[in-house]
Amino acid sequence: MLELRGVSKDYGPNRVLDDVSFGIGTGEVVGLLGDNGAGKSTLVKIMSGVVSMTSGSWLWRGEALDKVTRPETERRGVETIFQDSALVPSMSITRNIFAGRELTNRAGFLRLREMDAITTDILDSVVSIEGIKSAKQLVSSLSGGQAQAVAIARAVHFKRSLLILDEPTSALAVRATEALLNYLVQLKGEGVSSVLVTHNLHHAFKVCDRHIVMNHGRKILDVRREDTSVEELTAAVVEGAEGVRRYRAGRDLA
């Protein structure tokens, strides 16, 4: 579905991504892992067109895009949840969920009751967020985790092809996290792909079909779930390529 080919990114004299290539298949859930500063968020921003790459290609179903901008990636169905996903605090959950995609009748009036009903349904089925009383509630009255869950619910509801989630579970309670991870697996069946950026290797291992580990701007591991383990992923994240070599040498000896 999406392929990055030979992507590098420089910030001034600093190369923060170095010749990174990978693809995301249709209906595939991919974990993007790595220590702080490894380059995960920069990759997410490049995948979603928020930040331009210094060199490399961005291909959608085999076709390279000349100008990779957010409107272009959104048009193809890429939905991204950033760590600080923007919501409008003074508006209701419903209005935030439907921002820019409001349902209107022929005369142009908002179909608010219908939007509220859909929002209630989304909140229940997607992230089952504790403590939200009504779709009409203002976002300013929500906790940080609840607000993040609303942003996730919005992206999940309007998902089309590829959902990119940058640390989505960091502020979510246990039940909401479980619901979100299960939902990603459910979406697979509908051909929707996901990229999950997380520091929680157990979450990643539970739901991801493949794992990509970044280290100092380089891809050091790209492995299917059945060919790896939480221990190997931990070694890769903590110690880099050397950790993977040591882990594999130990495993082979055993």
Ligand X SMILES: Nc1ncnc2c1ncn2[C@@H]1O[C@H](COP(=O)(O)OP(=O)(O)OP(=O)(O)O)[C@@H](O)[C@H]1O
- Binding-site ranges for ligand X (CB under 6 A): 11, 16, 34, 36-42
Q: Which single residue brings its beta carbon nearest to ligand X?
A: 41
Between 36 and 90, whose beta carbon lies closer to ligand X?
Answer: 36
C-beta neighbour count of 225 within 10 angstroms: 17
Shortest separation between residue 197's beta carbon and ligand X, angstroms: 7
Shortest separation between residue 21's beta carbon and ligand X, angstroms: 17
Query: Strand 193-197 to strand 162-166: parallel, antiparallel, or no bridges (unpaired)?
Result: parallel
Shortest separation between residue 37's beta carbon and ligand X, angstroms: 4
Q: How far apart are CA 81 and CA 113, in angstroms?
A: 26
211 neighbors 198 (Cβ within 8 angstroms): no
Give the residue among 34, 75, 187 at the shortest CA–CA distance from 44: 34
Give the residue among 19, 81, 85, 76 at the shortest CA–CA distance from 44: 81
Between 39 and 145, whose beta carbon lies closer to ligand X?
Answer: 39
Between 202 and 248, whose beta carbon lies closer to ligand X?
Answer: 202
Between 116 and 166, whose beta carbon lies closer to ligand X?
Answer: 166
Shortest separation between residue 206's beta carbon and ligand X, angstroms: 19
Shortest separation between residue 216's beta carbon and ligand X, angstroms: 8
* The two three-digit tokens of residue 57, written as one number: 């290609």
Shortest separation between residue 184's beta carbon and ligand X, angstroms: 19
Between 122 and 152, whose beta carbon lies closer to ligand X?
Answer: 152
The 3-state secondary structure of 163-231, one letter per residue: EEEECCCCCCCHHHHHHHHHHHHHHHCCCCEEEEECCCHHHHHHHCCEEEEEECCEEEEEEEHHHCCHH
